[in-house]
Chain A
Amino acid sequence: MNIKRKIFLSAKAYLFLAPFLIFFILVIAYPVVLGVYLSFFGQRGARMWYVGGENYLSVLTDPNFWSGFDIPIFLLLVQVPLMLFISIFIALLYEQIKHSQVYRLIFYLPYAIPGIIAGIVWSYIFSKSMSPFIPLLSFFGIHNVNFLNLSTLIWILLIIILWEWTGYTALIIYSTLLSIPREYAEAAKIDGANNMQIAFYIKIPLLMNTVLILFIFNAIGALQVFNEPWMLGALVTLPPNYTPAMYIYNEAFYYGDFTYAIAMGLVLAGVIFSISFFFLRTASKQLQIHE
């Protein structure tokens, strides 16, 4: 390809890219660069002064920041594996049941509900004043239960997030299952494998790529968790650093330490970025299909 044609094609390509790129630069790229710049400043109200890497040093040694990771780490180690396990199970179930559409729809339904509303509804269901379970339990002689307090909150959070995302995850796994060539299972059947063996030795290994990507997406989600604990915070008094995202918000808008909050956001971004590196590599392969 000669240079002139390459330039001509590039000009055309960037014409198509322009609307996206303009907004992308205005609301993503430029703010991130500005954020990096601001993170090197100290700040009190409107006064700002250069401090070098001091903010980052403070972030790295801020126990309040890192203790907020308890929640994402719990979600990562308990909620995400649990959800992936249940989702694989449900996806295999979809395959076995004739007319599984009804189940698929019901399980996927919570995905249509905003996280904030899921937070409101579940927190009310478990609240001391409104929970329908508390009168039910006291009918059976169990009195003075309190589902919703600081120590149980993490389990409520687990239930909410499972409720929101399991059906969605199961559907993704199910569509991957459908893409596995039928001959694989049939060949195994001829060799005398039963359904259980086919699931464990053929289907589940072929799902692993999808499951890994799902794990990464959920890890990213867990590290940023904000809406659900934020709404639970309306009924339970939470520490301002309950999750890293809540700490960042509170630091910026309640304590007015904006540049420090930005530095924390960037550190969090760094953590997330390293996790998502694998996904990026997979995604960039998309480009090579038509080259």
Chain B
Amino acid sequence: MKNHNLKFHIVGIILAIFFLLPFYWIVISLTKNSGQLYQGTFFFGIPSHFIDNIIGVFAYKNGVFVNWIGNSFLYAGVGSLAGTFFAALAGFAFRRYQFVGKKILFIIILGFSMVPGFATTLPLFIVFKNLDWLNTYWSIIVPSVVNIFGVYLMVIYWNQIPEEIFDAARIDGAGDAFLFFRIGLPNLLPGFTTLLLLSFVGIWNNYFLPLVMLSSSDKMPLVLGITTILSLQGFPVYNLTIMGAFLTALPLLILFFAFQRFLVPQLTGAIK
């Protein structure tokens, strides 16, 4: 058994090297200027240009990087909070009520969740063009609020809360809003947190929507902004792009470590 374990660890370590390689590469590259990057070594740049790269990123185009950071937090923060809350409300309706069109609505909602972003984003571009919303904050926030898959997950989460909890409160004469906010939400909190985090990450990472909707640099989120970093002559500036990419991923990595236990992926609630 001991011997067996050693074999498993060898396999595990080989896989770990593969998964960690890009992280290692990005960390060493943070210390390099472009000359050092072109040398292509596996070691830190000597002398270190870490501080220069940070200054370089923040000084790029009069500090537009600060806008990108703010925008990313705005889009992902508002989008995930509102989206998760709306999904929780919708999930509650599916859990608690027998209403007209329940089944068909659920199927329609799930059906639309299978429509790829490309099929919705292009006509959405036209809709927003007519509303004069192109290149505004709304063009990113409003679509980010809709979390179709979140509704599905919320139905699963609500289904996991036992009926008795609601019954006890109802006998005491509690209304629907009370049931939702005071009885439901506290019990839903782990699922709510998971969905909040997942959608925060999802919106933070969404590249296609801002690519289509935004044209001015100061409205862009980090993930789009960093791909537009060019020198005055129009060439890519690899060391700044790498620093930008690192700073884009950093908040997600922090979230990831802080909320590990909530970030367990879930596919099918039915498996028991």
A215 to chain B, nearest CB (A): 12
Dominant secondary structure at the A interface: helix
B46 interfacial contact with A, CB 8 Å: no
Q: Which of B52-60, B117-125, B188-196 contacts A (4 or more CB under 8 A)?
A: B117-125
A182 interfacial contact with B, CB 8 Å: no
Dominant secondary structure at the B interface: helix
Total contacts A-B at CB 8 Å: 291
* Distance in angstroms between the alpha carbons of A230 and B98 in the assembled complex: 46
B109 interfacial contact with A, CB 8 Å: yes
A interface residues, how many (CB within 8 angstroms):
104
Q: With a CB–CB cut-off of 8 A, which chain A residues contact B116?
A: 220, 223-224, 245, 265, 268-269, 272
B95 interfacial contact with A, CB 8 Å: yes
A194 to chain B, nearest CB (A): 12
Inter-chain contact A118/B143, CB cutoff 8 Å = no
Inter-chain contact B97/A9, CB cutoff 8 Å = yes
Inter-chain contact B25/A269, CB cutoff 8 Å = no
Inter-chain contact B123/A97, CB cutoff 8 Å = no
* Distance in angstroms between the alpha carbons of A116 and B90 in the assembled complex: 32
A70 to chain B, nearest CB (A): 18
* Distance in angstroms between the alpha carbons of A146 and B8 in the assembled complex: 34
Q: Which residue of A lies closest to B43 (CB)?
A: A132
Inter-chain contact A117/B90, CB cutoff 8 Å = no
B171 interfacial contact with A, CB 8 Å: no
B210 to chain A, nearest CB (A): 11
With A27-B143, A112-B249, A114-B207 given, is the CB distance from A20 to B151 under 8 Å? yes
A32 interfacial contact with B, CB 8 Å: yes
Inter-chain contact B146/A23, CB cutoff 8 Å = yes
B110 interfacial contact with A, CB 8 Å: yes
Q: Which of A10-18, A54-62, A77-85, A183-191 contacts B (4 or more CB under 8 A)?
A: A10-18
Contact of B97 among A10, A129, A231 (CB under 8 A): A10
With A24-B109, A32-B123, A96-B4 given, is the CB distance from A124 to B114 under 8 Å? no
**B146-186 at interface with A (beta carbon < 8 Å):** 146, 148, 151-152, 155-156, 159, 163, 176, 180
Inter-chain contact B272/A262, CB cutoff 8 Å = no
Q: With a CB–CB cut-off of 8 A, which chain A residues contact B201?
A: 112
**B89-107 at interface with A (beta carbon < 8 Å):** 89-90, 92-103, 105-107
Contact of B146 among A6, A27, A136 (CB under 8 A): A27
27 intermolecular pairs with C-beta atoms under 8 Å apart? A12-B93, A13-B102, A14-B99, A20-B90, A21-B90, A23-B145, A24-B146, A35-B122, A93-B8, A103-B15, A112-B249, A114-B204, A114-B223, A120-B241, A120-B242, A136-B42, A220-B114, A220-B116, A265-B119, A265-B122, A268-B119, A279-B114, A280-B110, A282-B268, A284-B107, A287-B94, A287-B103
Residues of B within 8 A of A (CB): 4-5, 8-9, 11-12, 15-16, 18-23, 25-26, 29, 37-42, 85-87, 89-90, 92-103, 105-107, 109-112, 114-120, 122-127, 142-143, 145-146, 148, 151-152, 155-156, 159, 163, 176, 180, 201, 204-205, 207-208, 211-212, 223, 226-227, 236, 238, 241-242, 245, 248-249, 252-253, 255-256, 260, 263-272
Other A-B pairs beyond A124-B242, A286-B270, 20, CB < 8 Å: A13-B93, A17-B93, A28-B120, A28-B146, A29-B112, A112-B201, A113-B249, A118-B22, A120-B242, A121-B25, A132-B40, A135-B41, A171-B264, A213-B268, A224-B117, A245-B116, A245-B118, A249-B211, A272-B114, A286-B152
